[in-house]
Amino acid sequence: MVMYAPNRVLSPVKKRYFELVRAGDRGAVAARMVGVPTSCGSLWFITAGSMTVFDVGPISPRFLPQDDRITIADGLQATTAQAAPSALF
């Protein structure tokens, strides 16, 4: 006779829970959608390694905007590409 926990949830349910969490649903909502208690979903999440989502505030004005950084990087790459052939001789 095979012994199993009667309250054990099948892996497709657990997989669907994590798909919903990955898609952006909150844990409680995802747990309700797959039909398990919120505490069960929380335990799955903690057991899987959980994650901390930090609320990042606005970027400090002392940093360059992303568009400027991309322009600088493109310029550096173009300069390096022009200098590389002359460096071979």
Enumerate residues 6+ apart whose C-beta is below 8 A from 21: 27, 30, 45
**What are the tens digits of pLDDT across the range 33-56?**
999 999 988 888 888 887 666 667
Domain 11-83, second-level architecture: Orthogonal Bundle (1.10)
The whole-number pLDDT of residue 85 equals: 59
Q: Taking the model in full, what pTM does it have?
A: 0.49
- Is residue 13 within 8 A of residue 34, CB to CB? The reply is yes
Band of pLDDT at residue 12, cut at 50, 70 and 90: confident
Ordered DSSP codes for 34-67: HT--HHHHHHHHHHTT--------PPPTTSPPHH
Map out the domains of the chain as residue ranges.
Answer: 11-83
Enumerate residues 6+ apart whose C-beta is below 8 A from 85: none
